[in-house]
Amino acid sequence: MRVFGDAWGVSTETLIGAAELRAFLHGLPGVDQVGAEERAARLATRSIKTSAKAEAIDLAISMVDLTTLEGADTAGKVAALCAKAAHPDPSDPSVPKVAAVCVYPDMVEVAVRSLEGTGIGVASVATAFPSGRAPLEAKLADTRAAVAAGAAEIDMVIDRGAFLSGDFLKVFEEITAVKQACGQAHLKVILETGELSTYDNVRRASWLAMRAGADFIKTSTGKVSPAATLPVTLVMLEAVRDYRAATGRQVGVKPAGGIRTTKDAIKYLVLVNETAGPDWLTPHWFRLGASSVLNDLLMQRRKLSTGVYSGPDYFTLD
């Protein structure tokens, strides 16, 4: 494919020039805003019913990164969330468990302990989340601490200031440094698309992150509005699809923030299915960063199995 050039078949690069990187990112095909939004909106009209809906709900539950990222988080709050992660619906053991629990670094230890034996991983935000405005050393220390505490996945934020000012190399080098600090932990790179402003930037940031070694690209911190949107996720799904076609390496995608209803979640699954393709339709390659969506998924699940509409009192709030 034209856009990927001939020079690199490697999936992660450690050496790249600023000019080359800039030329590459600006050489990517553009994204027409209206066309991308139209496509996402049209996919959102897919009607997922009956058996397809049941499958989709379970798949969505299994893709949830159940998240709490509050200044007010405590060990108690985190432990409760972990309990919910392992048994989303205590009254129904057939409900799958979620993919991971996502917390701040200082809560990783509590989460790891609470999730022991469940097979659910702990993801930790790091790198001075959510702003990312800290010295690189602090970001790396943040990362190492989370990994040391047992985090299997690190959700880092990119330096949006550097990105928007055109210092792509700085962003690139930070990601490679954090990737190194991650060791065996998977690296999710948060683009904070709500601050990138254009889909062209989303596409460039996606490629930049993938080339720097991201295992996942993630839309948002959840602290900036807009958080995840369908068209932003569409553009990122196109990026991972094209990146795999060019390099052979598959990268995951995680929309985060703003996903509240079953309808929302299913729209994302349709988007994955018809953009990147079924290969991405597993918790290994697609995650939903959310918390409140889980209860709605459970509620819709029960409606399908019982035939009557349920209510919020029948699902746990932690």
Partner 1 sequence: MVFEYAPAPESRSVVDIRGSYGLFIDGEFVDGHGEPFKTINPADEAVLADVACADEADVDRAVKAARIAFERVWGPMPGAERAKYLYRIARIIQERSRELAVLESIDNGKPIRESRDVDVPLVAAWFFYYAGWADKLGHAGFGPDPKPVGVAGQVIPWNFPLLMLAWKIAPALACGNTVVLKPAETTPLTALLFADICRQADLPPGVVNIITGAGDTGRALVAHEGVDKVAFTGSTDVGRQIARTLAGTSKKLTLELGGKAANIVYADAALDQAVEGIVNGIFFNQGHVCCAGSRLLVQESVAEEVLERLKARMATLRVGDPLDKNTDIGAINSAAQLDKIRELSAAGEQEGAGRWSPPCQLPDRGFWFAPTLFTGVAQSHRIAREEIFGPVLSVLTFRTPEEAVTKANNTPYGLSAGIWTEKGSQILWTAQRLRAGVVWANTFNKFDPASPFGGYKESGFGREGGRHGLEAYLNV
Partner 2 sequence: MSERMTKRMSDRLAVRKTYKLYIGGAFPRSESGRSYPVTDTKDRFVANASHASRKDVRDAVSAARKAFGGWSGRTAYNRAQILYRIAEMLEGRRDQFITELRHTGASKTQAANEVDAAIDRWVWYAGWADKISTVAGAANPVSGPFFNFSTPEPTGVVGIIAPDSPLLGLVSVVAPAIVTGNTTVVIASEPAPLPAITLAEVLATSDLPGGVINILTGHRTELAPWLASHMDVNAIDLTGVPDADVPSLEDAAAGNLKRVFRASEDWADDPGTARMTAFLEVKTVWHPVGV
Query: Which positions lie near partner 1, rule CB under 8 A?
Result: 1-2, 29-32, 34-36, 38-39, 45-53, 55-56, 59, 238, 269-270, 273-274, 278, 281-282
Going by the DSSP 8-state scheme, the letter that residue 98 receives in this structure is P
Strand order from edge to edge, sheet including 252-254: 252-254, 216-218, 186-190, 153-157, 121-125, 100-103, 64-67, 288-290
Phi, psi of 63 (to 5 degrees): -100, 0
Residue 218 bears catalytic tag: yes
Q: Does 292 engage in binding with partner 2 (CB under 8 A)?
A: no
Q: Residue 258 half-sphere exposure, CB side, CA atoms within 13 Å?
A: 21
The strand ranges marked E within 106-192 are: 121-125, 153-157, 186-190
Q: Which of 35, 90, 166, 226 binds partner 2 (CB under 8 A)?
A: 35
Considering the complex, state which of residue 1 and residue 34 has its C-beta at the smaller distance from partner 2.
34
Indicate which residue of 155, 159, 200, 215 is catalytic: 155
Count of residues that interact with partner 2, criterion CB under 8 A: 7
Smallest separation (angstroms) from partner 1 to the CB of 136: 34
Q: Does 26 engage in binding with partner 2 (CB under 8 A)?
A: no
Considering the complex, state which of residue 33 and residue 180 has its C-beta at the smaller distance from partner 2.
33
**Among 27-35, 129-137, 280-288, 295-303, which window interacts with partner 2 (CB under 8 A)?**
27-35
End-to-end CA distance of the chain: 48
Indicate which residue of 159, 218, 264, 296 is catalytic: 218
Q: How far is the C-alpha of 308 from the C-alpha of 13, rounded, in Å?
A: 54
Residue 167 bears catalytic tag: no
Smallest separation (angstroms) from partner 2 to the CB of 198: 5
**Closest by CA position to 67, among listed 260, 281, 232:** 260
Q: Which of 32, 55, 70, 116 binds partner 2 (CB under 8 A)?
A: 32
The site partner of 238 among partner 2, partner 1, none (C-beta below 5 to 8 Å per kind) is: partner 1
Alpha-carbon distances of 71 from 24, 74, 106, 118, 152, rounded to whole Å: 39, 9, 11, 26, 22
**Among 29-37, 58-66, 130-138, 249-257, which window interacts with partner 2 (CB under 8 A)?**
29-37
- Catalytically active residues are 155, 218, 254
